[in-house]
Structure 1
Amino acid sequence: MQLGTTLRRTSHALALAAALALPGAASAQESTDAIKLTLHDWTGQLITTQLMGEVLKKAGYSVEYVQADYLAQFAGLESGDLHVAMEIWETTGRDAMDASTATGKVENLGPTGMKAKEEWWYPEYMKEKCPGLPNWEALKEEACAEAFSIAETAPKGRYLGGPVTWGGYDEERVEALDLPFEVIHAGTDAALFAELESAYQREAPILLWIYAPHWAPAKYKGEWVEFPEYTKECYEDASWGSNPDAQYDCGKPFGEIWKVSWSGLKNKWPGAYEAIKAFTINNDEMGAMISAVDLDGKSVEEVVGNWMSENEDRWSKWIE
């Protein structure tokens, strides 16, 4: 790291400390209160959030991590009880995010740099039992549904969804597309992928929610089901699509993973506000870190610490 960068970062931290110490400082002064970043229930989000938190600590801020429900957190962000959410996925969180930003109490701080994909996924070996895949219409066939069934759902197939808190409209999609499947939700992110590992090793039937960035699409051979392409009208207008009486008769949206904050962040912690806006990371980086935690047994803290050490020139620019 160059000396000039070090001095600039040190100068920023000292200036922040000085501003915080002045009782009569101008309205632009930075608060000494802790910035509350939300934690959810999947590994990537824990990594993203703690990366941002550690960068803010390097700039001299006090940081607090708060466990929060993915969708219900917006109430806390609107009230200012929570301050920053580092991952709102276009695929599942866009509606809640738009409703919250429309109040003026929550601000979209831009993309994280990661691109989100979340969809129904099956192992490659299941194509022999349901040869019409990846076309979604293959799932309507009785034989195909039975191929994906388990004792608890037979003769219907089982779709293993993510935790209920993730949203995603899977039950609505099953009903709208008249699929002979029952949606069963995994209790946790870890349970979801533990079941995939078990089924894959036995070549047992499984159809489940897979998302990227994640290690699973790289580790296991398989495909995403190809549903009718998502449009906004599909989620809002029942007359759109193959079922004129129901919404959600299409696939899930693809797109950005966003950062959002309480709208008061920019006035209370202007430097932190700019640092969070500057934060960016890509799918490959995140996939490697998730793999290090979930497959290699490293702790989130260890993985975050390694990234911080290896990328100091990069994150130091976020807090200049």
Structure 2
Amino acid sequence: MARTRTRASVRPRTRTGPRVRTRTCLAGAAAFALLTLTGCGAADMTQQASPYANARGSKTVTLSVQSWVGAQANVAVVTYLLEHELDYRVDTVQVDEIPAWDALSQGRVDAILEDWGHPDQERRYVADKKTITPGGDLGVTGHIGWFVPTYFAEQHPDVTDWHNLNKYADQLRTSESGGKGQLMDGSPSYVTNDTALVDSLDLDYQVVFAGSEAAQITQIKQFAKEKKPFLSYWYKPQWLFEKVPMTEVELPAYQEGCDADPKKVACAYPNTPLQKFLNADFERKGGSAATLVKNFSWTTEQQNDVALMIADQGLSPEAAAEKWVKANEPTWRKWLRGA
């Protein structure tokens, strides 16, 4: 969802959009020549890379794809257009958010299509080394927060104020939370502020990791099916809100710098306009592929449409992209201008 989604790894602090998240390894699809990496999302990209990355004299592109489904939707649509409209061969590589910056700098991948905000990496690679170039806004604003199911918020309206969370800790306790209320997070690889928030706000809760975005979605759906209460780190954009309505818990308001010390964070996550980044050589020499990547910008609703087809309707990324592309030609034709 640096989704710290601060999905969050949200993002800015990182979705990790939405922090650094690596959810589950992607299944290969016809549109994706997916490179298999050791240790899902945790590969050492200084040693491994796509054979097509930064290839000279050939129409090939390598895209970094994060494990959350919104990022998969971006890559699916751009891949489809590169292959079917511009006649490129596309390879995708899944890697955690921070290593992805290293891979991008080294030319082992050509572009990242959804970054949730990594200011340290931007300073290092964009400002200082100049090996990475900003690719512009994705058009989607990421937001991370704590959410409860709307059915529980309607029964207990005051639960949406963090001051009252301890009142409901017993109801939100699980077998994994050690006698405290459970705050459910996704993957341990997400960079989140949640442990610091629990400590700083003196909350009687334990952060419990589901293990991946997919596992977290499964758990949320199960809770909702049984109408059980839950408190979860979650992020927007995310298609699951269409299936399980959730209401955000109001945390202390975000102010610039309030999350500067990751061990003492006591404020909400910021809203993060999601960004694209390109390898500097690819930006200069990538021709129509680089132009398409820079022009690619869509809405939260459009991303969710494709994500829903992949994650909920069971379409492959390629099939979802094809369906969306056929229904939205006026939108993507603009991205091809100058390509």
Match of 2:144 in 1: 118
Q: 2:71 aligns with which of 45, 54, 57?
A: 45
* Residues 1:165 and 1:152: Cα distance change in structure 2 (over 3 Å): closer
Q: Are residue 307 (structure 1) and residue 332 (structure 2) matched?
A: no
Matches within 5 A, 1:76-155: 76-90=103-117, 93=118, 95-103=120-128, 104-127=130-153, 131-139=157-165, 141=166, 143-155=167-179
Query: Cα deviation per residue 1:39-89 (whole Å; 9 max; x = unaligned)?
Result: 221111111012112222222333211111123211111111121111112
The structure-2 alpha-carbon separation of the partners of 1:101 and 1:229, relative to structure 1 and needing over 3 Å to count, comes to farther
Task: Return closer, same or farther for 1:247/1:297 CA change in 2, 3 Å cut-off.
Answer: same
Contact kept, 8 Å, 2:178 with 2:206, in 1: the verdict is no
* 1:59 correspondence with 2:93: no
1:296 is aligned to: 313
In structure 2, what is the Cα distance between the partners aligned to 1:66 and 1:282? 24
Q: In structure 1, list runs of 5 or more residues that go unmatched.
A: 1-29, 239-245
Q: Which runs of 5+ in 2 are unaligned?
A: 1-55
Query: Which residue identity does 2:240 align to in structure 1?
Result: A
Residues in 2 aligned to 1:95 and 1:177: alpha-carbon distance in whole angstroms: 27
TM-score normalised to structure 2 length: 0.76
Most deviating of 129-138 and 301-310? 129-138
- With structure 1 as the length reference, what TM-score do the two structures score? 0.80
Shift of 1:119: 1.1
What CA RMSD, in Å, does the superposition of the two structures yield over aligned residues?
2.2
Corresponding residue to 1:275 among 278, 292, 297: 292
1:132 match: secondary structure: helix
Relative to structure 1, is the Cα distance of residues 146 and 261 closer, same or farther in structure 2, using a 3 angstrom cutoff? same
SS of match in other structure, 2:234: strand
Bigger Rg, structure 1 or 2: 1
Distance in 1 (CA, whole Å) between partners of 2:82 and 2:219 is 36
Kindly indicate which of the two structures has a greater share of residues assigned to helix: 1
2:223 is aligned to 199
CA separation in 1, counterparts of 2:323 and 2:153? Answer: 40
Asked if the contact 2:177–2:207 (Cα under 8 Å) also holds between the matched residues in 1, the reply is: no
Give the partner amino acid of 1:137. Answer: H
Identity %, equivalent residues: 24
Q: How many residues align?
A: 280
Q: Distance in 2 between matches of 1:145 and 1:99?
A: 42
Q: 1:186 aligns to what? A: 210
